[in-house]
Structure 1
Amino acid sequence: MTPTMNTVAAFLARHVLVCMMLAASTAGRAGDFLVDPIRLEMSPTSRSGVITVRNEGKEKLSFQMQAMEWTQDAEGRDTYTQTQDLVFFPRLMSVEAGDEGVIRVGARYPSPAREKTYRLFIEELPGAAKPADRKGAQMNVLIRFGAPIFVKPLRTEDRLEIEAVSLARGELSLSAHNLGNQHQVVEGIRLTGFDGQGKEIYAITLADRYLLAGSTKRYSTSVPHEQCVKLARLEIEFKTDKLTRNGKLEVGRAMCS
């Protein structure tokens, strides 16, 4: 049976919600295992850390680990490259049902001028199938979880600017530039529109997760035409875990068509 567009959309919405919940939590559940914490922060005084993987299932689970340097390109998209900057052990691990495995992680090069960012990927490996499991068709979903690793500079600086705010043909876009030397966790981008009398007639909050040091990311959304033509101004509140920045755009009807 071919899934409907509504079914596909619902699946994607649930997937995005799970990712957002993991990003906001101190511990994250992935499949039948729990990762705690879901991110590590290292500093000149704390150059190592521990990640615990707990098997919440009923069968033994096996994992392999891989460290990747994490950057964001000119469009703000996440990119990953192999790195030797992190020392971690073990690289392969099996965890019995109800038990825990420990991954120890350290940084080779502490105290960078700008925060260094990595992900330690914890990838579930396929297990040996039992004879009873081989009857009939089946699908095994293996989870790959990327725990963020942040190696912080000796002195941190938080600076962020909202740039290039525009509205054309009803499409609102803006860019945010992280001018500081450490990452920002984006908690929400609140867009509020007012008519000529100052009455709020439009509001939406855009979601995101990480804006890495030195990176610029573009955000966009469509403003419904019936609301757009009534707008006199748009106000922007860009809120992260460390700071809040505000912006404003005066709106004319020509921007909506």
Structure 2
Amino acid sequence: MKLTPNMLNLALAPILRGPIAIILLASGILSGAPMPAQAGVFSVTPVRIYMTPRDRAVAVTITNEGDAEVVLQADLNAWSQKPDGTDEQVPTEDLILSPPILKLAPNARQVVRLALLKPADASRQLIYRMIIREVPEAAPARDKTMQMPIALALSMPVFITPPPAKREINCQAAPGAAQALNVTCTNSGTAYAQVREILVKRGTQTLAKFEGGTYILPGARQIMSAKGEQALSPGPAQLNVGFDDGRVQTFDLTLP
């Protein structure tokens, strides 16, 4: 994925439950001083990292898409969710990115290695987030004007999955706002789930819909709002929950 300064409006609201998170770290952004922003342009592939217990390391490609030198560093966090779905990230030494800090010339590309330092769990998935962050104060000035340094960052999930680890999803629905259902999905399994779509259907008719990229980590639940174009009529219906791997799980429900 390519991250550009035009995406700063999205960066104001970090999206930690989607495939990636865009984070904005600005020095003096609330000061009101009219000064130009300084930010680099870089991309990272892949945007989601999958490993098995046999993998000692995986390759990650970082590309400077801009016309100025960029300095980047990596932060690694263990990622979990509370039972109510709130994200928690704690710095970890389970993983290491080599090198952890790199300097890229304009339009340069570098392959780095992400390695697991601890033994993988044989029964459950290990889940982390790797944040590649620009270090603007380490980059040379791009012109003689006074500039506000803005650090752009990409947050990528890292999943280390043994064969037995599986998601276990159960979903229920309750009336929400007008023309909507609150769909609560709980993951009692040992691997993550990511809900991409929810369809509330009666036969071939779609009554309500949710689209997103909501992560549900083991032991957590998430509430998603499926909205329809008109009031939902009572009676039996089906709840089709689609995941990022293309699979769909169906639940029967009765609309009140």
Given candidates 239, 242, 248, the residue that maps to 1:236 is 239
Given candidates 224, 227, 230, the residue that maps to 2:231 is 227
Given candidates 49, 58, 67, the residue that maps to 1:40 is 49
CA distance in 2, matches of 1:160, 1:34: 33
Question: What does 1:118-133 align with in structure 2 at a 5 Å threshold?
Answer: 118-126=128-136, 127-133=139-145
> Offset of 1:107 from its aligned partner?
1.1
Residue equivalent to 1:166: 174
Could you tell me which runs of 5 or more consecutive residues in structure 2 were left unpaired when the two chains were aligned: 1-8, 22-38
Higher strand share: 2
Residue equivalent to 1:175: 184
- Give percent identity, aligned residues only: 24
Residue equivalent to 2:127: 117
Residue type matched to 2:242 in 1?
A: K
Q: Is the 8 A contact 1:184 1:242 kept in 2?
A: no
Question: What does 1:187-202 align with in structure 2 at a 5 Å threshold?
Answer: 187-192=196-201, 194=202, 200=205, 202=207
Q: Is the 8 A contact 1:201 1:227 kept in 2?
A: no
> Offset of 1:168 from its aligned partner?
5.5
- Aligned CA distance change for structure 1 residues 236 and 93 (closer, same or farther; 3 Å): same
- Aligned CA distance change for structure 1 residues 21 and 175 (closer, same or farther; 3 Å): closer
CA distance in 1, matches of 2:43, 2:98: 18
> Offset of 1:99 from its aligned partner?
0.8
CA distance in 2, matches of 1:242, 1:130: 45
User: How well do the aligned residues superpose, as a CA RMSD in angstroms?
Assistant: 3.1
Question: Residue by residue, what CA displacement relative to the aligned partner does 1:28-81 show, whole Å, maximum 9, x if unpaired?
Answer: xx9611101112222122121121110010000001111100111122122101
Could you tell me which runs of 5 or more consecutive residues in structure 1 were left unpaired when the two chains were aligned: 1-10, 24-29, 253-257
> Which has more radius of gyration?
1
Higher helix share: 1
TM-score (norm 1): 0.74
Q: Is the 8 A contact 1:166 1:249 kept in 2?
A: no
Residue 151 of structure 2: SS of its match in structure 1?
A: coil
Residue 209 of structure 1: SS of its match in structure 2?
A: strand
Question: What does 1:3-14 align with in structure 2 at a 5 Å threshold?
Answer: none
**Bigger relative contact order, structure 1 or 2, given CA contacts below 8 A and separation 6+?**
2
